[in-house]
């Protein structure tokens, strides 16, 4: 049976120590997730190499994590930076493709389309002025 402790039975330093232990566990699992994420995203390492690092990290966790961070620490940062640059480039390419195919040159393109509609007689002068004002307001 579990009995709740009162505040006087659990001193302040024990509370601090419990928080330190809790956050140490959080940091430990975060490091494991980062290391396994980096390990399994690598293209330069064979399946056997990945299996070897996994066995080392799982069965000798502190030695395995420290060894991986020492051996691969700098390259982990380089791989992360290259991944972020590739993601940024992909995003920028997507934005360029959408903006080039979607709205053209923005307000100038909308005004030109409205002028074409006016010249074709599809809209009258008042509608043209309304479309022009709406395009310039954006």
For 119-131, the pLDDT digits (tens) are 998 899 999 999 9
Q: Does residue 80 fall inside a structural domain?
A: yes
* Residue 53: Cβ-neighbour burial (10 angstroms; 0-12, 13-18, 19+): buried
Query: Is the domain of 62 the same as that of 73?
Result: yes
Give the angle subtended at the CA of 80 by the CAs of 41 and 68, to the nearest 5°.
65
Reading the block at residue 48, the tokens are 């056997």
Query: Is the domain of 92 the same as that of 110?
Result: no
Per the structure, how many domains does the chain have?
Answer: 2
Query: Is the domain of 53 the same as that of 94?
Result: yes
Please give the pLDDT value at position 103.
52
pTM: 0.59
Query: Is the domain of 39 the same as that of 78?
Result: yes
- Which residue did the predictor score with more confidence, 13 or 135? 13
CA 38/CA 69 separation, integer angstroms: 11
Q: Domain of 26?
A: 11-102
For 8-46, the pLDDT digits (tens) are 677 889 999 999 999 999 999 999 999 999 999 998 999
Query: Is the domain of 120 the same as that of 96?
Result: no
Query: Is the domain of 90 the same as that of 137?
Result: no
Q: What rounded mean pLDDT belongs to the chain?
A: 88
């Amino acid at each position: 049976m579990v009995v709740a402790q009162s505040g006087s039975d659990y001193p302040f330093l024990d509370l601090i120590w419990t928080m330190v232990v809790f956050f140490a566990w959080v940091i430990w699992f975060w490091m494991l997730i980062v290391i396994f994420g980096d390990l399994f995203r690598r293209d330069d390492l064979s399946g056997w190499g990945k299996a070897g690092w996994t066995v080392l990290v799982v069965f000798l966790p502190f030695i395995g994590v420290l060894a991986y961070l020492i051996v691969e620490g700098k390259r982990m940062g380089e791989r992360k930076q290259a991944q972020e640059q590739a993601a940024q480039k992909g995003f920028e390419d997507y934005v360029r493709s959408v903006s080039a195919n979607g709205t053209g040159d923005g307000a100038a393109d909308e005004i030109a389309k409205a002028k074409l509609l006016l010249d074709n007689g599809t809209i009258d002068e008042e509608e043209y002025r309304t479309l022009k004002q709406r395009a310039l307001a954006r």
